[in-house]
Chains A and B, each alone.
Chain A
Amino acid sequence: MNPQLNKDGELQHLLTTEGLPARIVRDILDRAATFLDVAEGREIKKVPLLHGKSVFNVFFENSTRTRTTFEIAAKRLSADVVNLNIGSSSTSKGETLLDTVDNLCAMHADMFVVRHSQSGAAHLIARHVAPEIHVINAGDGRHAHPTQALLDMFTIRHYKKEFHNLRVAIVGDVLHSRVARSQIHALTTLGVPEVRVIAPKTLLPTMVENLGVRVYHDMVQGLKDVDVVLMLRLQNERMQGALLPSAQEYFKNYGLTEEKLAHAKDDAIVMHPGPMNRGVEIDSVVADGPRSVILSQVTFGIAVRMAVMSMLAGGKQ
């Protein structure tokens, strides 16, 4: 049984883009488009869809940026929002993850937005909570970050209109990236015929091609004629553990520069989930250049998260 759908095949939780039916993905993107107006066209940036609902942002791993976008999304839906940075409180006192969740349930949470450093944490919580409570995975270990992937799909659709004629390249640390895994599943679900990953062998997981991607180790070949370039963040700690020799060598081979980007299609767009390491995975000239849509991603991210939250807890629109 798919743990994120209810018995009627509707979205109960959003845990991963893997196995998420294409119709639900399209519903989320369509609904997000209507929410863009809420932010842009109106005097009052609120709709009452989640009025009276309590959304708990439970972050076991710190992330000001993602937490803030969820908070804004929930508030624009008129929900009451509680932010908890658990990393620095309960677990250090010995409370288990599910104890924490039980306590928050007792405070009548309607929805949890969860980030955790361990893969599968959101699934564990979703299995545990009562059926009227919804869980949104805001990133679990290396496993999944579905709202990021969905906002990326929204951005791609905004600029490219269709998915069935695209060539998309994902560049960087796929091994440690929950974003990359969720992007791959979302892109293949939406019918993108060619998804590429470009990385050195130390940053690719075993049998990654079984996820439905083509593997490239050379940026020039991998970027040739692509429509969309999805850059991944490279954590500084990857320079340890014999994964990479240096940030300089990485940038030379896998950093996105104007020169390398010239091999992509003329109208290719460049995306990045943020926060960027300028000069490590991406050159500032590209990040701030005309083909970068990175700031649009941030704007669209709020609309997409509103769409997901309202779909889970707000009933039919």
Chain B
Amino acid sequence: MNIHIKNGRVIDPKNHIDAQQDVFIDAGKIAGIGSAPAGFVADRTIDASGLVVAPGLVDLAARLREPGYEYMATLESEMDAAVAGGITSLACPPDTDPALDEPGLVEMLKHKARNLNQTKVYPVGALTAGLKGQELTEMAELADAGCIAFSQADAPLTDTRVLLRAMQYAATFDFPVWLRPQDSFLAKNGVAHDGEVATRCGLPAIPVSAETIALATMLALARDTGVRLHICRISSAAGVDMIRAAKRDGLKVTCDVSMNHTHLSENDIGYFDPNCHLVPPLRSLHDRAALRAGLLDGTIDAICSNHAPVDEDAKQLPFAEAEPGATGLELLLPLVLKWAEQDKVALPDALARATLHPARVLGLDAGHLSVGAVADICVFDPAAWWKVEPSALKSQGKNTPFIGYEMQGRVRYTLVDGQVVYQG
């Protein structure tokens, strides 16, 4: 189908386009920007007057809860949420049940996702069998099945010799290793940032040093092994400084941050709001400021939803017992826009952190609108206000710290491979 998207404000960070232009799509690819290719006849015309036409969002962390946790969410429900959020590619962590540590599981997931014809799903395979931190997985087999990187998700890997071996093995095949830095001894039983709020509330705490100690270990081993290391969900100012220094030293390291952590802090826990029980914990305002600065200066490559839908019952518990996690796929775009507005970041620069840059982390030719590129596109109304309410969310997870917030920015069309997969 040939689609003509007309009169929109086209923003493409890669090609430095920010102008009112028309976009022409032919056979699933971008056939022209500005002027139609010769002989182009549109089967469908989308009037994007007043709307922004941007590359589809690329989310580095979205838990789809399959297999194993279908009571929290299903592939169907979360893919609906993803396209409603303008997300056209996403990486899913391996902490399913069973963990994504066998090629058959990965193939099944890829197959199910492909049949839904919506957002493209890129599984991150388990780095160790069962995420137990002891034996390596068959990484080459898993990569053949479709894994784009290998990770422990939030499971601890305390044995540094295993971590060294895992990095060496991954580096052999140039597979990226994605790790969230957290020392499991310092983080034991902790549910909140070790700061003033945890002290007032009497909540077991996780110090910043839990992040920096693990990060130092990971960076040292990455130096020794030459592995492509991606640091997931950095949460502290000290952690951002360490990534900045490592990059300056020429280490091949990339990094992401969760949108929750660029917008919230420990103070949002308020009177024990279980929606603010997140992994990693929400840290101080000082940390939040450093995360935003790191995202802007490129120390942090990408902002992700860290989507983790949780069923209602698991949240209606005292703070520490409540299942951590929040739904996020439908909030990523508005929160990127909110960050841009609050910190006076140019819209193309802000969108790059959720499109082009995460696509680079994934090694995908995506997140841009070059002629000839796959037509994964998000068309959104940057001025539309909406209220975050359970009924407004397609995700099966209705828990988010942003419930009740007024958000600006609503997706109108999502296109994957040149097909309109969502219209709102």
- Whether A120 contacts B319 by the Cβ 8 Å rule is yes
Among A18, A97, A119, A127, which residue has its beta carbon within 8 angstroms of that of B317? A97
Contact between A123 and B272, CB atoms less than 8 A apart: yes
Q: Choose among A120, A141, A178 the residue with the greatest number of B CB atoms under 10 Å from its CB.
A: A120
Separation in Å of the B316 CB from the closest CB of chain A?
5
Task: Report if A18-B319 is in contact (Cβ < 8 Å); known contacts: A119-B272, A124-B272, A206-B195.
Answer: no
- Which chain B residues lie closer than 8 Å to A124 at the CB level? 272, 274, 316-318
Q: Is A205's beta carbon under 8 Å from chain B?
A: yes
The reply to whether B313 and A96 contact each other, CB–CB distance below 8 Å, is yes
Interface status of B205 (Cβ within 8 A of chain A):
yes
> Once bound together, how far apart are the Cα atoms of A120 and B198, in whole Å?
11
When chains A and B are docked, how far (Å) is the Cα of A119 from the Cα of B192?
A: 12
Cα distance, A96 to B314, chains bound together (Å):
10
Q: Which of A33-41, A75-83, A148-156, A207-215 contacts B (4 or more CB under 8 A)?
A: A207-215
Measured between beta carbons, the chain B residues less than 8 angstroms from A118 are 318-321
Which residues of B sit under 8 angstroms from A210, Cβ to Cβ? 196, 199
Judged by a CB distance under 8 angstroms, whether A121 is at the interface is yes
A144 contacts across to B, CB distance below 8 A: 202
> How many A residues touch B, CB cutoff 8 Å?
27
Point out the residues of chain A lying under 8 angstroms from B202, CB to CB. Answer: 119, 140-144, 178, 181
Q: Is A116 an interface residue (CB 8 A)?
A: yes
Q: Is the CB of B201 within 8 A of A143?
A: yes
- Docked complex Cα distance between A135 and B196 (Å): 26
Closest to A178 in B: B202
Q: Is A3 located at the chain interface by the 8 A CB criterion?
A: yes
B403 to chain A, nearest CB (A): 14
List chain A residues, Cβ under 8 A from B199: 205-208, 210-211
List residues of chain A with CB within 8 A of the CB of B183. none
Q: Is A47 an interface residue (CB 8 A)?
A: no
| B200 at the binding interface (Cβ < 8 Å) | yes
> Could you tell me which residues of chain B, from 309 to 354, have a CB within 8 Å of some CB in chain A?
313, 316-321
Among A3, A98, A207, point to the contact of B316 (Cβ < 8 A): A98
A interface majority secondary structure: mixed
User: What is the size, in residues, of chain B's interface with A at 8 Å between Cβ atoms?
Assistant: 22
Complex: how many Å from CA A123 to CA B271?
7
Tell which of A121, A178, A211 touches B318, judged by Cβ atoms closer than 8 Å.
Answer: A121
Interface string of A27-55 (1 = CB under 8 A from B): 00000000000000000000000000000
Pair A206/B194 contact, Cβ less than 8 Å: yes
- Does B203 count as interface, using CB distance less than 8 angstroms? yes
For B274, list chain A residues within 8 Å (CB).
124
Q: How far is the CA of A118 from the CA of B196 in the complex (A)?
A: 18
CB distance from A212 to the nearest CB of B (A): 11
**Which DSSP category, helix, strand, loop or mixed, fits chain B's interface?**
loop
CA distance A124 to B270 in the complex (A): 12
B195–A119 CB distance below 8 A: no
Shortest CB-to-CB span from A58 to chain B, Å, is: 14
What residues on B are CB-neighbors of A97 within 8 Å?
317-318
Residues of A within 8 A of B321 (CB): 118
| B318 engages A206 (CB within 8 Å) | no
Please state if A116 and B318 are interface contacts (CB–CB under 8 Å).
yes
Q: Which of A1-44 contact B (CB under 8 A)?
A: 3, 18
Contact status B318-A18, CB under 8 Å = no
**Interface code B202-220, partner A: CB below 8 Å = 1, 0 otherwise?**
1111010000000000000
* Contact status of A119 and B313, CB under 8 A, knowing A124-B318, A206-B194: no
Question: Shortest beta-carbon distance, B208 to chain A, in Å?
Answer: 10
| Other-chain contact of B319, A98, A119, A127 (Cβ < 8 Å) | A119
CA distance A211 to B319 in the complex (A): 21
- B200 in contact with A120 (CB, 8 Å): no
**Residues from 80 to 119 in A contacting B, C-beta threshold 8 Å:** 96-98, 116, 118-119
The reply to whether A96 and B320 contact each other, CB–CB distance below 8 Å, is no
A177 nearest CB across to chain B (Å): 8
* B199: nearest chain-A partner, CB-CB: A205
Q: Which residue of B lies closest to A117 (CB)?
A: B318
Q: Which residues of A contact B319 (CB under 8 A)?
A: 118-120
Chain A residues whose C-beta falls within 8 Å of the C-beta of B271 in the assembled complex: 3, 120, 123, 127
B: which residues have CB within 8 A of A?
194-196, 198-205, 207, 271-272, 274, 313, 316-321
Q: Please, could you name 26 A-B residue pairs with CB atoms under 8 Å apart, sorted by A?
A: A18-B200, A97-B318, A116-B318, A119-B272, A119-B319, A119-B320, A121-B318, A123-B271, A124-B272, A124-B317, A124-B318, A128-B316, A140-B318, A141-B202, A141-B320, A142-B203, A143-B202, A181-B202, A205-B198, A206-B194, A206-B198, A207-B195, A207-B199, A210-B199, A211-B199, A211-B200
9 further A-B pairs in the complex, CB-CB below 8 A; given A120-B318, A143-B202, A205-B205: A118-B320, A119-B318, A141-B320, A142-B202, A143-B203, A206-B198, A206-B205, A211-B199, A211-B200
